[in-house]
């Protein structure tokens, strides 16, 4: 980024949903920015994940930028391919494409104190400068492969769900899926009618929340095109928002009526949705609902009762060339093995090296757990802001809404730089420490900390998430507490 004048340059890392958002906002206000994207195309998680059955379980009209409603969604829940097209189209429409540098992996960001700017190094060895870094590098980004003996010996094709192989034998073949988070469940529902034999390997059964599903016909889409108020009505649907607020009350009040209702709805779904008593018991969770991310599905229980599908709850002993050997000695012979085993959720911008004031690295600061002040900024890392960074809300929310609220917060800090009132802004260490102390104490009492394993937990077993209500998050993002920030005046 060439320096034209005195105004700050912005380096956005990642051209996914949050990076495109930051670009659109900066372009609107006429600021200089470059988006560095390590891959050769935009879209982040929606570019990487192409597995059959991929949908977003947030209603499509709520999983859109607030400023860019989209009348074309084809169903209440959009497919991954549609969402990817939405981001491509939106990036084009808002003139973001010329600002994206593809194949540009940022490997280091080092704060130059004397000049109050970040020195970026790319994988190519090229360097760049920017006064501001926006880390929009995603959360669920680095696949986590299971530590199962013999995985590499498998003779068929084995691959992670986020690295879908189009030429894998599925139709009429013998396939297995390890993992039953949101991903594994969606893949099973899509393959149940395609594979001749499909095994769902479940280490822990899931709570399945029944949800409505319906398609939007051409007539409805035409009505959305003609009258955007119809889309607003869906986005602002009081029932949708009261569900969000009820869900956060459920998360934060583990003995309250809201979580009891969620558990009842899911258990009724299991009771009424599964006919075979043996299968019903296999699918019954033995931990609290919403402790792991709740699965929203309108078709999983139908899928697992199809003749080709076998739910396997016996532990896996090892993987052999022919298939998966269970602890009781049985062998599932497979042609294809899908590893829907999740992601390393504590990486964020890493493995890039990020060094702030005094050369302190993010790896050092995050030795125990990734953390950020109100999930956005980090003491000692001036002008470094994260979207969907550590300790933000997790659960069944629209990450777009979360990123937009975070951007509104970041923008108020950037205003200080743009107005020339400061060269650098970072949260005070004591403000961050107080935030983390309160957050950790509250996080331990959330449903996420009620005794299950999940990607929500940090390495010490503490939920790594926002532990308060969604309203509290919205309020916190509405206006930064400026006294909690250190300004390096010009
Ligand atoms: P995940 O929720 O982390 O689930 C990983 C699954 O793999 C779990 O069932 C886990 O079992 C299992 N597993 C891991 N290692 C294993 C091993 N060695 N042996 C046997 N089983 C193993 O990952 P994910 O399903 O990819 O979902 C991650 C997140 O992506 C979701 O929580 C959600 O936030 C997001 N997502 C969202 C949507 C959407 O519709 N919005 C769709 C897909 C994904 P245990 O439970 O026993 O650990």
Residue 162 CA: nearest ligand 1 atom is 26
Instruction: Compute the distance from residue 339 Cα to the ligand 1 centre, in Å.
Output: 10
DSSP secondary structure of 317-374: EEE-SSEEEETTS-EEE-SEEEE---B-TT-TTTTSEEE-GGG-BHHHHTSS----BT
User: pLDDT (tens digit, 0 to 9) for every residue of the chain, 490 residues total?
Assistant: 656 567 899 999 999 999 999 999 999 999 999 999 999 999 999 999 999 999 999 999 999 999 999 999 999 999 999 999 999 999 999 999 999 999 999 999 999 999 999 999 999 999 999 999 999 999 999 999 999 999 999 999 999 999 999 999 999 999 999 999 999 999 999 999 999 999 999 999 999 999 999 999 999 999 999 999 999 999 999 988 888 888 889 999 999 999 999 999 999 999 999 999 999 999 999 999 999 999 999 999 999 999 999 999 999 999 999 999 999 999 999 999 999 999 999 999 999 999 999 999 999 999 999 999 999 999 999 999 999 999 999 887 899 999 999 999 999 999 999 999 999 999 999 999 999 999 999 999 999 999 999 999 999 999 999 999 999 999 999 999 999 999 986 5
Atom 32 in ligand 1: which residue has the minimum CA distance? 293
Are 478 and 408 spatial neighbours (Cβ–Cβ below 8 Å)? yes
Residue 54 CA: nearest ligand 1 atom is 42
Residue 57 CA: nearest ligand 1 atom is 40
| CA–CA dist 479, 477 (Å, integer) | 6
Instruction: Compute the distance from residue 144 Cα to the ligand 1 centre, in Å.
Output: 10
Q: Where are the domains of the chain?
A: 9-142+344-488, 151-214+247-339
Residue 179 CA: nearest ligand 1 atom is 7
First-to-final CA distance of the chain: 22
CATH superfamily of 151-214+247-339: FAD/NAD(P)-binding domain (3.50.50.60)
Residue of 150, 178, 182 to test ligand 1 pocket, by largest number of atoms within 8 Å of CB? 182
Token digits of residue 289: 């609902």
| CA–CA dist 482, 374 (Å, integer) | 13
SS (H, E, C) 378-399: ECCEEEEEECCCCCCCCCCCCH
Residue of 16, 44, 57, 203 to test ligand 1 pocket, by largest number of atoms within 8 Å of CB? 203
Atom 18 in ligand 1: which residue has the minimum CA distance? 146
**Who's near 107: CB < 8 A, 6+ residues apart?**
121, 122, 123, 351, 352, 353
Three-state SS at 238? helix
Nearest to 391 by CA among 451, 325, 345: 345
DSSP secondary structure of 438-478: HHHHHHHTSGGGSS---TTB-TTS-B-S--S-HHHHHHHHH
DSSP class of residue 143 equals B
| CA–CA dist 105, 107 (Å, integer) | 6
In DSSP terms, which residues pair with 106 in a beta bridge? Answer: 122
| CA–CA dist 46, 138 (Å, integer) | 11
Token digits of residue 138: 């995603």
Residue of 183, 319, 402 to test ligand 1 pocket, by largest number of atoms within 8 Å of CB? 183
Three-state SS at 279? helix
CATH superfamily of 9-142+344-488: FAD/NAD(P)-binding domain (3.50.50.60)
Atom 6 in ligand 1: which residue has the minimum CA distance? 179
Task: For 99, list phi and psi in degrees, rounded to 5.
Answer: -90, -10
Atom 12 in ligand 1: which residue has the minimum CA distance? 179
DSSP secondary structure of 311-330: EE-SPEEEE-SSEEEETTS-
| CA–CA dist 412, 422 (Å, integer) | 12
Q: Do domains 9-142+344-488 and 151-214+247-339 have the same CATH topology?
A: yes
Residue 183 CA: nearest ligand 1 atom is 25
Instruction: Compute the distance from residue 350 Cα to the ligand 1 centre, in Å.
Output: 21
Token digits of residue 140: 């669920």
Which pLDDT value is given to residue 95?
Answer: 98
Instruction: Compute the distance from residue 204 Cα to the ligand 1 centre, in Å.
Output: 10
Instruction: Compute the distance from residue 323 Cα to the ligand 1 centre, in Å.
Output: 21
Q: What is the dihedral of CA 445, 447, 450, 456, to 10 degrees?
A: -100
- Ligand 1 contacts (CB < 6 A) are 55-57, 140, 146-148, 161, 178-184, 186, 203-204, 292-293, 316, 340-342, 453, 455
Token digits of residue 457: 């937990």
Task: Give the predicted TM-score (pTM) of the model.
Answer: 0.97
Instruction: Compute the distance from residue 115 Cα to the ligand 1 centre, in Å.
Output: 44
Instruction: Compute the distance from residue 18 Cα to the ligand 1 centre, in Å.
Output: 22
Three-state SS at 375? coil
Instruction: Compute the distance from residue 285 Cα to the ligand 1 centre, in Å.
Output: 15
Are 136 and 387 spatial neighbours (Cβ–Cβ below 8 Å)? yes
Which pLDDT value is given to residue 4?
Answer: 57
| CA–CA dist 274, 78 (Å, integer) | 26
């Amino acid at each position: 980024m060439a320096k034209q004048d005195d105004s700050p340059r912005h380096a956005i890392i990642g051209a996914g949903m949050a990076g495109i958002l930051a670009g659109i906002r900066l372009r609107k206000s006429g600021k200089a920015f470059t988006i560095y994207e390590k891959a050769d195309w935009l879209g982040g998680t929606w570019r990487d994940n192409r597995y059959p059955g991929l949908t977003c379980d947030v209603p499509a009209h709520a999983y859109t930028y607030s400023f860019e409603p989209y009348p074309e969604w084809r169903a209440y829940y959009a497919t991954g391919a549609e969402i990817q097209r939405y981001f491509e189209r939106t990036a084009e429409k808002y003139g973001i494409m010329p600002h994206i540098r593809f194949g540009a992996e940022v490997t280091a960001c080092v704060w130059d104190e004397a000049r109050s700017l970040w020195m970026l190094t790319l994988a190519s060895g090229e360097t760049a400068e920017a006064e501001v870094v926006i880390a929009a590098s995603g959360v669920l980004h680095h696949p986590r492969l299971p530590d199962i003996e013999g995985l590499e010996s498998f003779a068929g094709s084995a691959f992670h769900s986020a690295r879908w192989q189009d030429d894998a034998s599925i139709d009429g073949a013998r396939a297995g899926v390890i993992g039953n988070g949101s991903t594994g469940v969606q893949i099973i529902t899509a393959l149940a009618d395609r594979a001749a034999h499909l095994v769902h390997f479940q280490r822990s059964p899931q709570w399945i929340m029944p949800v409505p599903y319906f398609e939007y016909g051409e007539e409805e889409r035409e009505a959305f095109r003609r009258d955007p108020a119809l889309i607003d009505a869906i986005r602002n649907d009081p029932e949708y928002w009261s569900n969000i607020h009820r869900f956060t009350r459920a998360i934060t009040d583990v003995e309250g009526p809201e979580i009891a209702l969620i558990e009842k709805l899911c258990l009724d779904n299991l009771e009424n949705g599964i006919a075979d008593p043996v299968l019903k018991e296999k699918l019954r969770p033995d931990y609290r609902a919403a402790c792991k991310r709740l699965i929203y599905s309108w078709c999983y229980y139908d899928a697992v009762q199809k003749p080709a599908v076998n739910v396997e709850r016996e532990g896996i002993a090892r993987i052999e060339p022919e298939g998966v050997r269970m602890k009781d000695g049985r062998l599932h012979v497979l042609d294809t093995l899908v590893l829907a085993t999740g992601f390393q959720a504590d990486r964020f911008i890493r493995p890039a090296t990020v060094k702030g004031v005094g050369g302190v690295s993010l790896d050092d600061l995050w030795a125990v757990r990734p953390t950020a002040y109100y999930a956005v900024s980090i003491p000692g890392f001036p002008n470094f802001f994260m979207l969907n960074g550590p300790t933000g809300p997790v659960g069944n929310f629209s990450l777009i809404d979360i990123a937009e609220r975070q951007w509104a917060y970041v923008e108020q800090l950037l205003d200080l730089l743009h107005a020339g009132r400061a060269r650098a802004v970072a949260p005070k260490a004591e403000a961050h420490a107080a935030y983390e102390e309160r957050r950790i104490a509250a996080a331990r009492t959330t449903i996420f900390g009620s005794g299950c394993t999940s990607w929500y937990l940090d390495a010490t077993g503490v939920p790594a998430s926002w532990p308060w209500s969604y309203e509290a998050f919205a309020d916190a993002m509405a206006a930064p507490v400026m006294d909690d920030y250190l300004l390096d005046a010009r």
